[in-house]
Amino acid sequence: MVQVVAAGDLEFIDLETKFGLARTFDNSVFPEWQGGLPAITEVEQKALDRVRNQFLYIVKFGALEEIVKMVVLSPLLDLAGFYEPPFRLRTEQSVELLTEDDGRLVRGRIDVLVFNELLWALVIESKRSDYGVSAALPQGLFYMFCSPKSQQPAYGLVTTGMDFVFVKLLRDDQPRYALSRMYTLINPGNDLYDVLRVLKRLGHEIVQSPIDG
């Protein structure tokens, strides 16, 4: 009998031993968050200030995962242009993968999937605010690993609404992933400005990527 494992129960060691994923600290692997970021307008800055203030108010009472999506993710995706062509969105996208070594079936649901034709553009995993983003990273990486276009880089965003980390996954002969720095609303100012700039940069990279492969 096949043993079914929830994607949310995966640990980093599972990614290494079962899927051959290893983290790289080579900055050249994930340049998309580091430079060449588009500017954002004053109107967008004011909108993001409002999002930050609303979330920081709501989090005082405990922000559930659905609230994170509604208050933070929805306006970010809107401002980044992911509600417009050529992108499409799905929520609770089911994925599963059978591990080769022990025949376990890993199964889960992607919180938010942004895609362009058959290319998975951005996998977003959200958690309630009292979780750390590191707890959601193995789950998010597993979903990215399931992307049908293995020759294309896969991008992800893991967030608690308070903290944000971008992920890039390469699935070549040596599957590896790289992380951005952590953006957090604890910092002075508003890190959502940079989160939006990275989202816009990724959107541009995805549109330029070939669908085949």
| DSSP string for residues in 61-85 | G---HHHHIIIIIHHHHHHTTTTST
Q: Rounded to 5 degrees, what are φ and ψ at 81?
A: 90, 15
Q: Which two tokens stand for residue 88?
A: 């499409």
The residue ranges of DSSP E strands in the chain, in sequence order, are 4-6, 22-23, 88-98, 105-116, 119-126, 154-159, 163-170, 176-179, 183-184
In this predicted model, what pLDDT tens digit does every residue of 142-167 receive, in sequence order?
Answer: 999 988 877 888 999 999 889 999 99
Q: Are 87 and 81 in contact (CB under 8 A)?
A: yes
What structural domains and CATH numbers belong to the chain? 27-93+110-208 (3.90.1570)
DSSP 3-state percent helix, strand, coil across the chain (nearest 5): 40, 25, 35
Q: Considering the entire predicted model, what is its pTM? A: 0.91
Mean pLDDT of the chain: 87
Could you tell me which residue, 118 or 4, shows the higher pLDDT?
4
